[in-house]
């Protein structure tokens, strides 16, 4: 039943709000794959994202309770981020999306090209 997810109070729509941007799902994904990571490593891992934007994504994820920040009191500032329980539970659905992309990614590109060609 649809109501299960789209209750009148709209609370269940949070699933689609939380990741409704370009990078958050990517960050959750790599944290799920690689475990706790430092921002520098994430920047290397993800191509095409600036330090500032990555930080924005991490703050959003932290705000939503999907990511946790660890600060180590060391001379060169050291920090890493890890998934919370809620964040960890999300990597299943996200990997399912990744699997979908592996199958239908080309179809999407083709559809775009076709639409642009008109």
Q: Which residues bind DNA (CB under 7 A)?
A: 20-23, 38-40, 48-53, 55-60, 69, 71, 76-80
58 binds, among DNA, its own copies, none (CB under 5 to 8 A by kind): DNA
Check if the beta carbon of residue 49 is closer than 8 Å to that of residue 23.
yes
Min dist. Cβ of residue 99 to DNA (A)? 22
70 binds, among DNA, its own copies, none (CB under 5 to 8 A by kind): none
Which CB sits closer to its own copies, 2 or 75? 2
Angle value at C-alpha 86, between 82 and 87, nearest 5 degrees: 40
User: Among candidates 30, 42, 50, which has minimal Cα distance to 95?
Assistant: 30
Which CB sits closer to its own copies, 46 or 79? 46
List all residues 6 or more positions away from 29 whose beta carbon is below 8 Å from its beta carbon. Answer: 91, 94, 95, 98
List all residues 6 or more positions away from 19 whose beta carbon is below 8 Å from its beta carbon. Answer: 25, 28, 94
Which CB sits closer to its own copies, 26 or 80? 26
Min dist. Cβ of residue 80 to its own copies (A)? 17
């Amino acid at each position: 039943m649809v109501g299960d997810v789209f209750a009148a109070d709209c609370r269940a729509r949070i699933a689609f709000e939380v990741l409704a941007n370009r990078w958050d799902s990517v960050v959750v994904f790599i944290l799920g794959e690689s475990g706790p990571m430092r921002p520098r490593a994430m920047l290397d891992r993800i191509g095409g994202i600036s330090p500032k934007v990555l930080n924005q994504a991490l703050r959003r994820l932290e705000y939503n309770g999907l990511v946790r920040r660890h600060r180590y009191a060391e001379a060169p500032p050291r920090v890493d981020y890890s998934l919370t329980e809620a964040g960890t539970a999300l990597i299943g659905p996200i990997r399912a999306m990744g699997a979908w992309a592996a199958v239908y990614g080309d179809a999407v590109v083709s559809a775009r090209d076709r639409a642009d060609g008109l």
